[in-house]
Every structure is written in structure tokens, then in C-alpha cells.
Amino acid sequence: MNDSVFLADHTWPEAEAKIAAGGPVFLPLGATEQHGHHMALNVDVVIPTAICERVARAVGGLVAPTVPYGNRSQPRSGGGPAFPGTINLSAHTFSLVVRDILVDLYRQKVRRIVVLNGHYENIWPSIEGIELALDVIGRDKTDGLTILRIDHWEFARPETIARIFPDGYPGIELEHASVLETSLMLAIRPDLVDLDRALHDGPAQFRPYDRFPKPPVEVPPSGVLSMTEGSTVEKGEWLLADCVGRMIDIINEEFK
């Protein structure tokens, strides 16, 4: 018996039966983006996929293939386009990708969908994608349909953030490739992290505006916007527990 929670691991008859069972379908949204010298380009794919897998196992759900490309990396939140390996989608394209996946899930009678975002710049394009999907489906045909959209970092409890940052939290924008993401990766895929290669040239001191076409000079050369010091497996496990636990609670509440 195939007990995988990943939709793509199943044959189509197996997928049909799993969907018919009525469990939620999770759609992780990621990116292929630089994460310093010490982590792989797929951080924003690995983290939401791993969280979705854990939650899906707990609630009897399925995980759709992760969208591996994200909306344009920006200098003040992801380092920007200057780093090799980062592959961007325009906001319009990203929104249409999300739209089409959601519409096709609806066509296959999926009515409980959880969109979990792992890339900061995906926030508004993912919202637009959901709105466009509802336009295509028809606002008058959405009885029984519920789509939850979540940014995983929002579920870190204040107590956990205070434990990780006793001297003050730099904010989610500057946490790119820094303690939170590095700790999560140490807990999920330590083989993709090499702290010995981390360069400590942050934190960035950004001006409160954007400049085009040349990115601001304040982007640290390493691509790490804050710091990696203090990253641990234990902190990653704290963050995973916060996110997975809160998502399970919300799904049990929303999908009664």
C-alpha cells in the first residue's frame, strides 16, 4: 500500500481515491534563490515542503508538488538578482501559476486547500493567484470551498522568537539566510547546510527605500542579510513545532 502523502508519488487511481477521501491538499510555494555561502538554493522549497509533509501526515492530507520558482527576489528581503543561481518569475506569471493549479485542483473536486508560502516575495502574488482562481471558478460556485493561505514564519510564537533572539529580533525581512532559516534547515536537511562556509558580513543596514535599476550597496556580499551565528538544530525544531502545531490546530478548526 502506498502511504506517501505526496500526490505525485501516487498513480492516478490512487490519487483519485485519496482526493475522494476529502482530506486537505497542501500546495507549498517556494523559490530557487541564493541563501549565502552556507546553504543551498532550494531553502524556500525544502522548508514549506517539509512542514506540509508533517501536517499532511497528521491530518490525512496530500501534498501537491511544490512550486520551485518564486516571485522576483528583492535586495532588501532576498538579496536580489545579483547572485547567480536565483531564478525569478514575474509577479504576474507567479500569480497565474498559482491560479491554474488551484483551478485544476477544484476541477478534480478538491475543496480543502492549504497554500503554504516559503518565500517572502511570494506574499502578494500568491494572494492575487487565489483571487484569480476564485474569479475563474466563479464566486457563486464556491460553496464548500475553503483555501487557507499561510506564510510559515508567521506561526513562530513570540516566546520562541524571544528565546532565539534574547538581544532583539531583527525582523523577518533581514532573516533571509539567517538564524531562522538556517536553524530550520539544520533540523530538516542538515546535508544542505555548511556553517563552516558562512561569511559574517551582516547585518545589512538598508535605507528605507528601494532604488532601481542598480540595487542598494547595502546588500552584504555573502547574501546573508542578518547573521548565522546562533543557528542550531534545536532552534529549528522549536520553529517546526510552532508551525506544524499551529497549522494542525487551524486545519482542525477550519475543516470541521
Dump pLDDT digits (tens) for 19-45.
999 999 999 999 999 999 999 999 999
Catalytic residue among 53, 151, 175, 181: 181
Look at residue 1 and tell me whether its pLDDT is greater than 80. no
Is residue 147 very low, low, confident or very high in pLDDT (cuts 50, 70, 90)?
A: very high
Mean pLDDT for the stretch of residues 86-92: 98
Look at residue 194 and tell me whether its pLDDT is greater than 70. yes
Is residue 176 part of the annotated active site? The answer reads: yes
Is residue 173 very low, low, confident or very high in pLDDT (cuts 50, 70, 90)?
A: confident
Q: How far apart are CA 192 and CA 133, in angstroms?
A: 35
Is residue 121 part of the annotated active site? The answer reads: yes
Is residue 119 part of the annotated active site? The answer reads: yes
Contact 221, 81 (CB under 8 A): no
Catalytic residue among 38, 44, 53, 242: 44
| CATH no. of 7-254 | 3.40.50.10310
Cis peptide before 213 (omega within 30 of 0): yes
Type and span of the H or E element at 201? none
Is residue 159 part of the annotated active site? The answer reads: no
5 CB contacts (<8 Å, ≥6 apart)? 53, 56, 57, 61, 62, 63
- State pTM to two decimals: 0.96
Catalytic residue among 38, 53, 121, 151: 121
